Amino acid sequence: MTTRERSAAPSPDASSDAKRLLRLARVGALATIDGAVGAPLTTLVGVASDWDGSPLFLMSELSRHTRNLAVDARASLLLTSTGGRGDPLNRPRLTVGGPIAPHPDPTSRRRYLQRNPKAGLYASFADFAIRRLQIETIHFNGGFGRAEALSVADLLSPAASDAEALVGAEPRLLQEVQSLGAEAIARLAGVPAGRRVWRPIGLDAEGFDLAAGGMPARVDFSSPALDPDAWRERLREKLATSAAS
């Protein structure tokens, strides 16, 4: 164990990097306990993030991992950063563990499909339902020599129950972001305008997510915003910062 792993308080970069992984991931490696053989089973699954960042899945009742969860709800999910050159093991990765249970909240289904639109081809099938991982354990490695201990409070954002007005205003706020125009949205995404057409696909108290085809991007605020007016103020701050850079 490194000195950082033993430290009581993680570095701000570790918490920020882990949160971005949680928000940007669209696929992950899910390990469940296969009681039939008495061993772990790891499968590739689609992922989205709930309001607080908790992983969401659209799972078929017929899938082997879903049947495993019906017997033992404990699971572990590995999320990795994508792209870039060099050794993949020198890039951040995050493993979260805890029980997975059905999560019928309609906003969660919408959040999943906004981030994984191709899942709309089968989302309406009777055997598919949204499930949510309740994070209890965290293992974060930011790259070589950057393993740090994070608590659930370090990783998760304010939940929907803490920002009810913001939840209700999400469609309107996303339209406002879209109305900023392609150039401004590209600056927010941190990329040159014109190469990709970015669109807002969801928000939370700490920022919002963008997508250009299958490419995700994240805009993080300086501090949480729990109501629409505060959220707009954080957006104005980001616009000013991006225009000056």
Taking only the tens place, the pLDDT of each residue in 131-190 is 999 999 999 998 766 778 899 999 999 999 999 999 999 999 999 999 999 999 999 988
**Nearest of 172, 204, 190, 230 to residue 54 by alpha carbon:** 204
pLDDT of residue 7: 44
Question: What does the domain layout of the chain look like in residue ranges?
Answer: 3-156, 164-240
Q: Which residue blocks in 29-128 are alpha helix, DSSP H? A: 64-71, 106-115
Record the pTM.
Answer: 0.90
Residue 12 binned pLDDT confidence (cut-offs 50, 70, 90):
low
Q: In the prediction, which pLDDT does 84 show? A: 64
Is residue 210 within 8 Å of residue 199, measured between CB atoms? yes
The Cα–Cα gap between 157 and 204 comes to: 8
Domain spanning 164-240: CATH 3.20.180.10 = yes
Q: Which helix (H) or strand (E) holds 6?
A: helix 3-6
Domain 3-156 in CATH 2.30.110.10? The answer is yes
CB-based burial, 63-84: b 16+ in 10 Å, e otherwise: bebbebbeeebebbbbbbbeee
pLDDT over 90 at 43, yes or no: yes
